[in-house]
Amino acid sequence: MKKSHCSLGVLLAGFALLISGCATTTDYVTLSYIPQANAMRIDGANNVQVKVVINDQRAVKDRVSAKKDFHGIEIAPIISMNDVKGAIQGAIEAELRNRGFNVDSGGTTIELTVQKFYNDFQPGFWTRKANTDAAFKLKVIASDGSEVLIKNMSDEWSKPVLHMSAKRAQLALNKALRESVQSLFHDGEFLGALLK
């Protein structure tokens, strides 16, 4: 009886060591965007040249999330394999093309300053949450240099998760990217500014 308890103890200790070893290593995610299906082409968009410029002013640039222990202490960074600026720019350009705009190096400029794009896990006794924040400053600048539109955009998402892992962070971040960009393209004021 004592021998089986000892064996169980050794097994559990080994399992805990294995888990802690995986938990303390840097992990990676890939940001990806699937363009909106059946986007309506906009009358006159084919006559508009648009350039997208992304500025990165995030306070935290070396990671997009972090693995945490059950006390909420960060134990390892979660890093994006691809450039955050590039992922956001590619998503916006895909939606512009979907609607008939000419994405080029001249014409109207969409300048998006990324202020926050981060998934912060919130530990809990029974459930854990993936809290994702996205904050941007948007400018639409006409070809003559005049600012047609300036607005701040921010969204927060929270979803229960079983594990505070890179896989869960990737799902949360990609959802934030998708919903932020699609929200922008449902904004009549933004689309109107591009057509001015």
Q: What is the pLDDT of residues 55-73, one digit of tens each?
A: 999 999 999 999 988 788 8
Q: Cα(first)–Cα(last) distance of the chain, in Å?
A: 82
Q: Report the pLDDT value the prediction gives residue 13, as an integer from 0 to 100.
A: 40
Of 126, 122, 95, 124, nearest to 194 by C-alpha is: 95
170 part of a folded domain: yes
Q: What percent of the chain has pLDDT over 70?
A: 87
Task: Provide the token pair at 47.
Answer: 């006559």
CATH number where 184 lies:
3.40.50.10610
**Location of structure tokens 């505070």:** 164
| The total number of structural domains that make up the chain | 1
Q: What is the pLDDT of residues 184-195, one digit of tens each?
A: 999 999 999 999
What is d(CA 95, CA 37) in angstroms, rounded to the nearest whole number? 10
Q: Is residue 2 part of a domain?
A: no
CA distances from 17 to 14, 23, 155, 165 (A): 5, 10, 38, 17
Range of the domain at 80: 27-195
Q: At what angle do helices 166-184 and 84-98 cross, to 10 degrees?
A: 40
Inside any domain, residue 168: yes
What per-residue confidence (pLDDT) applies to 159?
Answer: 81
Q: Is 191 within the bounds of a domain?
A: yes
Q: Residue 161 pLDDT > 70, yes or no?
A: yes
Would you state the pLDDT for residue 22? 57
Flag whether 7 is in a domain: no
Residue pLDDT, tens place only, 89-129 = 999 999 999 999 999 888 999 999 999 999 999 887 667 88
